[in-house]
Chain A
Amino acid sequence: MERSLTHIALFAALIAVLGLVPRLDLATGVPVTAQSLGIMLCGTVLGAKRGALAVLLFLLLVALGLPLLSGGRGGLGVFVGPTVGFLIGFPIAAFVAGWVMERTTLAPVWAAGAGAVIGGIGVLYPFGILGMSVVLDKTLPEAALLALVFLPGDILKAALAGLVTQAIARARPAALLSRA
């Protein structure tokens, strides 16, 4: 019990810290932070249920008024802004990434990479696109076009999620709760 709780809390903190890491700008000029990588790692390292709970805890703190989203954003405003769909999709993305990790017997690097792509892109983007289409009053294809700018960064991050999960599997096999 204690172990579940502290892992969930510490990974919620990790998502916040990864949002503070100096961001790099892609060639397209779109800012990329490691925050969504943190979401993917919650799933691939902690597993479906704990991963989703860690992300929910993180979002709860954002809603309570802590500036933990990348760029120092936070508070209730982000939940009515154009990116709200991504926020709603975050816990589900972590759950799916963890589920893929738990249900496959592939090597950690491939299972985590696939989980991060399926959860962090395949599941997350429909939510994000739906959110933008509602707030900005655009059709779904138009909103999808806006979401495309984030795609190169997220593919890169999914690959990194695979590598980081593999590194953890090697260094602390017992700590990889998604495969425990």
Chain B
Amino acid sequence: MLTLTSPVDTPLHHLPAGAKLAALAATTLALFATHSTVLLAAALTLIAALHLIGGPRFAAHGARMLTPLWPFVAVVALWHLWAGQAQQGGTIVLRMLAAVAAANLVTVTTRLSDMMTVLERLARPLSPILPPRRLALAIALVIRFIPVLSERMALLAQAFRARSPRRSGWRLLAPAALAALDDADHVADALRARGGVG
């Protein structure tokens, strides 16, 4: 896994993360404010061109990230063709593709550490109720424990298969949740033994 940041280095990777996020917010608002098919098509073309800066492999990856949208594109297309409002349908599809592609572009060109820096800056006003160190610790714990829990699930599945010819189905869910609860208790003890979360 573990992040969506593209290993293909592009000039966009070197722009400041805060600026990219601000530009994305402005782009998204503009996309949802306009109803002109021509403008939306131009925006989508521009976003596609930005993808092509990173080369064909980078652009192909960007296109693949839009795959989950195809069912929605199909539904909207069928709906509006059947209702005889092809242009309205085109507007909706173009806007959706442009908005998602623009947001994905920021995600794949921004490293997790840069995103974290922006998050820390944004979360500073919240520091009286949410100390930044505690938030950082929580994020680190999640990232660390996804592979641990994932492995635990795989072990449970193996143990089940060794004992039963049936599919495990939902039977592993309770042991998996119990494992998470037990780990949470152990980690809490370990943190407390080392001086707490502060």
Contact = CB atoms under 8 A, between A and B. Distances in A.
Nearest to B98: A80
A10 interface: yes
B30 interface: no
B126 interface: no
A179 interface: no
B149 A17 contact: yes
B59 to A, nearest CB: 15
A171 B103 contact: no
Contact of B192 (A2, A16, A65, A137): A2
Contacts of B145: 9-10, 13
Given A82-B69, A160-B170, A2 B196 contact: yes
A136 B180 contact: no
B2 interface: yes
Contacts of A13: 141-142, 145-146, 148-149, 180
A103 interface: no
Contacts of A9: 137-138, 141-142, 145, 184, 187
B142 A67 contact: no
Given A5-B137, A64-B116, A76 B104 contact: yes
B106 A5 contact: no
A146 to B, nearest CB: 7
Given A65-B4, A77-B107, A168-B181, A12 B191 contact: no
Q: How many A residues touch the partner, as a band?
A: 35 or more
Contacts, number: 180
B197 to A, nearest CB: 6
Contacts of B110: 65
B188 interface: yes
Nearest to B92: A137
B142 A57 contact: yes
Interface in B179-198: 180-185, 187-189, 191-192, 196-197
B5 interface: yes
A80 B138 contact: no
Interface in A67-115: 67-68, 71-82
B174 A168 contact: yes
A130 interface: no
A136 B72 contact: yes
Nearest to B189: A2
A168 B177 contact: yes
A168 B174 CA distance: 7
A15 B195 CA distance: 28
B108 interface: yes
B161 interface: no
Given A5-B197, A41-B177, 18 more contacts: A7-B181, A10-B180, A10-B181, A13-B146, A17-B149, A17-B176, A21-B153, A64-B116, A65-B107, A71-B68, A74-B107, A76-B104, A77-B65, A81-B68, A135-B96, A136-B72, A168-B178, A172-B178
18 contacts: A2-B188, A2-B192, A5-B188, A6-B188, A9-B137, A9-B141, A10-B180, A11-B184, A13-B142, A13-B146, A14-B177, A17-B176, A61-B143, A64-B115, A64-B116, A67-B4, A77-B104, A80-B100
